[in-house]
Each structure stands twice: as structure tokens, then as C-alpha cells.
């Protein structure tokens, strides 16, 4: 297989620096042919009689790399292709490798990975990723000593290695009130937010308007919402299929083949078509999963940009991920140190007529040709046309963190807080138990508590001893 010039340069740089640095991270953008680069490195390594341990985090990626290695005629007797979860359980059964290669290397700081690296501490380490950064902004410098950077995404587009794209953002859900857990939006809250019939209907409407008949992958927040989204497409006579990690292998393979043949137009999934999973026929992606992860955003948004002559990729971002992370082809200063300071707010412009997203300062919309007035060119910094809205107590309460509940002095307001934040009814019980001498409780509050918690009829009558009719100071 003939390698591209930039792929050869990455391999050459790796050879030149490996003896000096021993642990190298290779940043290769999505669609730049990462599997070809690492297959060539594995081929060269095994041809010299050296063993390779190749680590992936998902079983679907093993078959994919196996087929590429087969093309390169690699000696499989000298390579172990393993999921990291399997490798960490079999450390004493794996033959000692000369080189450990980690795919989707931004996961490498997890304990399972570091345990493998420490066990085979004489091995050279090579890690491949499009986004060398952790969700919390941490870099990979604790593991790797040197980084080799691949070409910029803009350059790959300009040189016909990736397809050009248009990104549209018509936000269907407000994520401002979602809590963040371990650096990512709370999964349960996200699922609740996105499981909305209005969202399903608007998704279809905007698909027909912006990408009708294009082969499309939809990224959903949960299996349930993925199934519902596929059902909504099918009910509108757009052939769609839901797939997830539990879908039988043969069924998944047949669905992907039908997608390539055009029998299925839309594939809905949660995490299946993400890191490393290649579906080159995809022409459009629809983002229905809000994420704080730059890695996930880039992987998903660029899934439609695999090169095909005269192809224009479409990205429909219904959750505003582009406002969090910028455009897919923004130049990013990747470093092993990660984020050294708080990043500046991402600035992008949205066309008010067609909702295309572009760089700030653009004077004419590249999608519909709208000429922007000066106010739009300056990113609409004036507030002349902004309408002020009445802010009610509940609006303020909804923005408060969980700890604010301890400052609330009435059961009525605690009930408001729990309902607005969608907390479990058990929160009410714990607050009353801990602070029953502080909280003002009235009879109507007990009846409402019963309704919220779903307690049996008459429950509130047994709680009358809690009633405290004193006035709130």
C-alpha cells in the first residue's frame, strides 16, 4: 500500500526520535489515515523480529486494525491485538513486547493503561490520537516524553484528503442547567433533556431541509433516544436503523452494508460510530448529544468528512457543541502539557438566515450568500435590539447549585428546588430529617410532598406532627 507523503514523514520522525525519547505520542487528525501509519510501523517492527502489543479500548477496533495489518502482510505471530480490559487481566500470560502501541491514546492515563505500561516498563511506547488531551484538560505528559504532530485539518481539506464541510447549528435543547460530573454533562439529566418529542420532530424537519437523502449518522445521548429517533425517521418514510454495542455482529454488519448501498439512509447510535470506527460512506452527521469532551466532539463531527470526490459534508449540531469547542478544522495548539490556562471563549458566527456556522469576521455567508451588516460582522457586540425578559424567583432558583438547598428555610421552596432541578424525592426526606427544627412546614406542603414522592393516599395525615405554622423571618 502506497503511503502519502505526510504519512511517510510521521513515520520518519518517529524513527528519528524513538531512541532518544522512548515514549512518543503521535497526533494524527481524524481521516488522516492513522491505521495505515501504525500498520506500517508494526510491519517494520515485526519484520525485525520484535514483538508488538497493540491496545484498543473497544472490541470493534480490533477487527478493523486486523484487516489493515493483513493488507500489510504483518507476521501475526509477533503481535498481540488486545482490548486494554483483557490485557490488564492477562499481564503474566502476554509475551514481553518490544513496543506497546496504544490506539485512541487520550485514554492512556486511566489506571488500566498505566498498569500495563508499568508491567512492561522496558518497552517503547507509541500512542496515536487525534486529540491528545483528557476531558479535564490534563495533558499526556505524565506518560509521553515527545509529541509528533500530523497535518492540520484545513490542509487535509485543501489537499483533498478530507472533504470540505458546512456546519449548521439550530439548537433544540438548553444545556445551561445541566450539572457536570467528572468533567462531562450528567448523563441522566442529559438523557431526560433529549428525550423530547419536539426534539425528534425538529431533527427530522432540519434533516429534510439541510441534508435530505444524504447518508447520515445520528449521535444520541441514550439507547432509548436513539431508538426513538430512528422510529421518527422511519415514520417519515426515511429508512433508518438503530445500532448499539449490544446489536448482534451480523445484524450490525448487514445494517452498515445496507447503509453503504443506500437502502438505509440514517444510522442512529450512542457511542458505536465514534473513536476509530470508520464509515466512509457517511455524508452527514447529526449531533444530539451535548458533550464537554473536545475529543468526542471532533470524532463525531468529522465522521462525515472522509474524502470522496465532489462531496460536501454536512454537520447538523442540535446541541450547541460547536459553541463549546469551535469548528472541527480550527487550528489547535496541541501540547503534552494540556491546558495551561483558562481558554478564551470560543467565537464563531451563525448565519441568521440559513444557520450555517463560520469563522468570526466572515462578511458573506458561504452557504446562502447573505451579506452581513456591520453589526453582525462585529459579532453583534451592541445590545440595542436585545429584549429584556422578566426573571422570576423560579428562574433564579433553577440556576443554584445543590448546596443552596441548605440555605432554604421553607419546605415549599425545597419542593420547588427539587422539582426544578429534577432531583429524586429522597432529597426532600433527608432535608426534613436533618433540619426539621429549622424548616417551616405547612399542611399544604405535606400534601404536595406526597404528590411529588408518589406516597400512598393519606400519607400526609400521619406527618402532621411536622407542621410548624410560625411565620418565616
Pairing of strands 284-287, 146-149: unpaired
pLDDT reported for residue 344:
52
| 448 in the same domain as 425 | yes
| 223 in the same domain as 178 | yes
pLDDT reported for residue 384:
40
pLDDT digits (tens, 9 = 90+) for 116-126: 999 999 999 99
CATH of the domain at 136: 3.40.50.300
| 111 in the same domain as 234 | no
pLDDT surpassing 70 at residue 374: no
Domain limit, last residue, from 105, 133, 151: 151
| 294 in the same domain as 169 | yes
Q: At what angle do helices 426-435 and 411-421 cross, to 10 degrees?
A: 150
pLDDT surpassing 60 at residue 114: yes
Is 39 inside any structural domain? Answer: yes
Is 368 inside any structural domain? Answer: no
| 178 in the same domain as 95 | no
The alpha carbons of the chain give a radius of gyration, in whole angstroms, of 26
Is 295 inside any structural domain? Answer: yes
pLDDT digits (tens, 9 = 90+) for 267-293: 999 877 655 556 668 999 999 999 988
Is 262 inside any structural domain? Answer: yes
| Mean pLDDT over each residue of the chain, to the nearest integer | 85
DSSP letter for each residue of 401-468? -GGGGGG--BHHHHHHHHHHHT--THHHHHHHHHHTTTSB--HHHHHHHHHHHTPPTTGGGGGGGG--
Calpha distance 305→236 (Å, rounded): 26
pLDDT reported for residue 266:
96
Q: Residue 22: pLDDT band by 50, 70, 90 thresholds?
A: very high
> Are 218 and 207 spatial neighbours (Cβ–Cβ below 8 Å)?
no
209 sits in which H/E element: helix 197-211
| 76 in the same domain as 172 | no
Please give the residue range of the domain that contains residue 437.
393-466
Taking the model in full, what pTM does it have? 0.73
pLDDT digits (tens, 9 = 90+) for 203-220: 999 999 999 999 999 999
Is 289 inside any structural domain? Answer: yes
Is 335 inside any structural domain? Answer: no
Amino acid at each position: 500500500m502506497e503511503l502519502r507523503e505526510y504519512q511517510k514523514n510521521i513515520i520518519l520522525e518517529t524513527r528519528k526520535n524513538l531512541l532518544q525519547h522512548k515514549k512518543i505520542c503521535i497526533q494524527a487528525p481524524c481521516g488522516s489515515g492513522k491505521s495505515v501509519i501504525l500498520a506500517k510501523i508494526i510491519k517494520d517492527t515485526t519484520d525485525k523480529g520484535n514483538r508488538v502489543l497493540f491496545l484498543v479500548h473497544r472490541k470493534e477496533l480490533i477487527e478493523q486494525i486486523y484487516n489493515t495489518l493483513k493488507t500489510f502482510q504483518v507476521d501475526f505471530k509477533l503481535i498481540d491485538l488486545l482490548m486494554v480490559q483483557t490485557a490488564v487481566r492477562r499481564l503474566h500470560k502476554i509475551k514481553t513486547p518490544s513496543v506497546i502501541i496504544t490506539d485512541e491514546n487520550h485514554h492512556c492515563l486511566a489506571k488500566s493503561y498505566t498498569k500495563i505500561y508499568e508491567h512492561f516498563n522496558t518497552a517503547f511506547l507509541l500512542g496515536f490520537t487525534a486529540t491528545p488531551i483528557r476531558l479535564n484538560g490534563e495533558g499526556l505528559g505524565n506518560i509521553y516524553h515527545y509529541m509528533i504532530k500530523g497535518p492540520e485539518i484545513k490542509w487535509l481539506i485543501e489537499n483533498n484528503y478530507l472533504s470540505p464541510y458546512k456546519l449548521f447549528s439550530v439548537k433544540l435543547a438548553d444545556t445551561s442547567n445541566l450539572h457536570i460530573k467528572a468533567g462531562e454533562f450528567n448523563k441522566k439529566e442529559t438523557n431526560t433533556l433529549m428525550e423530547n418529542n419536539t426534539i425528534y420532530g425538529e431533527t427530522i424537519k432540519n434533516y429534510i431541509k439541510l441534508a435530505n437523502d444524504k447518508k447520515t449518522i445520528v449521535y444520541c445521548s441514550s439507547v432509548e433516544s436513539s431508538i426513538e429517533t430512528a422510529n421518527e425517521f422511519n415514520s417519515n418514510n426515511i429508512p433508518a436503523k438503530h445500532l448499539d454495542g449490544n446489536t448482534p455482529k451480523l445484524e450490525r454488519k448487514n445494517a452498515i452494508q445496507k447503509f453503504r448501498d443506500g437502502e438505509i439512509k440514517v444510522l442512529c447510535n450512542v457511542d458505536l460510530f465514534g473513536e476509530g470506527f470508520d464509515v466512509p460512506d457517511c455524508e452527514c452527521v447529526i449531533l444530539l448529544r451535548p458533550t464537554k469532551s473536545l475529543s468526542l466532539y471532533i470524532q463525531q463531527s468529522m465522521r462525515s468528512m472522509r474524502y470522496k470526490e465532489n462531496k460536501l459534508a454536512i454537520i447538523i449540531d442540535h446541541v450547541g457543541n460547536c459553541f463549546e469547542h469551535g469548528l472541527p478544522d480550527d487550528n489547535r495548539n496541541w501540547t503534552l502539557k494540556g491546558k495551561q490556562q483558562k481558554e478564551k471563549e470560543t467565537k464563531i458566527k451563525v448565519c441568521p438566515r440559513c444557520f450555517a456556522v463560520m469563522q468570526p469576521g466572515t462578511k458573506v455567508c458561504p452557504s446562502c450568500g447573505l451579506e452581513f451588516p456591520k453589526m453582525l460582522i462585529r459579532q453583534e457586540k451592541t445590545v440595542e435590539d436585545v429584549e429584556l425578559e422578566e426573571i422570576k424567583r423560579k428562574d433564579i432558583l433553577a440556576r443554584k447549585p445543590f448546596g443552596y438547598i441548605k440555605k432554604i428555610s421553607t419546605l415549599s421552596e425545597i419542593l420547588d428546588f427539587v422539582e426544578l432541578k429534577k432531583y429524586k424525592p429522597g432529597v426532600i426526606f433527608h432535608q426534613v430529617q436533618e433540619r426539621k427544627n429549622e424548616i417551616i412546614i405547612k399542611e399544604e406542603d405535606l400534601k404536595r410532598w406526597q404528590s411529588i414522592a408518589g406516597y400512598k393516599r393519606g400519607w400526609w395525615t400521619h406527618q402532621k406532627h411536622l407542621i410548624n405554622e410560625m411565620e418565616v423571618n
